[in-house]
Amino acid sequence: MTVLSRQKFSAVVFLAATFVGMPPAMADGNSKSMPSSYWRGGYFGPEFSLTMLKNTYNPTVPIGVRKLKANGKIIGMVGGYNFLRKGFMWGVEGSVANGSVFTDDLSYIATLRGRIGKPINYSLPYVIAGPALAGLKKSPAGAPYKSSSTQVGLVVGIGFEQVLANAISGRLEYTYARFFTNGRSGGARVRLKNLNMFRASVVVHLRD
């Protein structure tokens, strides 16, 4: 089994566990619906991501924009705050992830996202959108960047959150990030574009 296959298998296992996991109230035989207030308030937790970007350097254009590779795993943290209004969840959250260990060219990625979802008992489907920053790790020559290594872009995505315990929920999310600025190393420009991320996280809700 290849590394990427093992990563996909791990994501499928997490998804299955999320859907079959029975929250404590249901396991105790309590069939009452989860109150929507569960989704209100602050939360934080660890996040694991798979990144996929297969654009590579075009040798016919040695001077110009180079599309970097950023396939690999990223580990980070996510946190935010939710509000409830007219049956919908409205929130804002931020995430920071370190990619310097696992990826080829991506050092870190940080996002600030608005989040809108519709609570359905123990589940919360949602969409996100917001700005994103990404740091580059290597220059075309393999040396570390000295300046202007941050890429600025936007991120959009969809996700699904499921209650796992009284104050713990699991999340699966797909996000697409598009970056618009170039990093520089000497006279060469580089760009990280079209970054697909598959995220899994477990968050702790800060209940009042």
Q: In the chain, what are the domain boundaries?
A: 3-206
**Residues composing the chain:** 208
DSSP letter at 13 equals H
pLDDT of residue 95: 94
pLDDT of residue 131: 97
- Cα 174 to its chain centre, rounded Å, is 7
Tell me how far apart the alpha carbons of residues 130 and 123 are, in angstroms, rounded to a whole number: 23
Tell me how far apart the alpha carbons of residues 159 and 80 are, in angstroms, rounded to a whole number: 15
Sheet strand arrangement including 183-185: 65-67, 188-191, 183-185
pLDDT of residue 194: 78
Q: Which residues pair with 112 in a beta bridge?
A: 94
- Cα 115 to its chain centre, rounded Å, is 13
pLDDT of residue 19: 42
Domain 3-206: CATH class, spelled out: mainly beta
Tell me how far apart the alpha carbons of residues 45 and 30 are, in angstroms, rounded to a whole number: 27
In 69-206, where does DSSP find H-type helix? Answer: none
Residues 6+ apart with CB under 8 A from 113: 92, 93, 94, 95, 128, 129, 130, 155, 157
pLDDT tens digits for the chain (208 residues)? 444 454 454 544 444 444 444 454 444 444 455 566 788 899 999 999 888 765 544 444 444 555 666 677 888 999 999 999 888 999 999 999 887 655 556 778 899 999 999 999 889 999 999 999 987 765 555 555 444 467 889 999 999 999 998 889 999 999 999 888 766 545 556 667 778 899 999 999 986 5
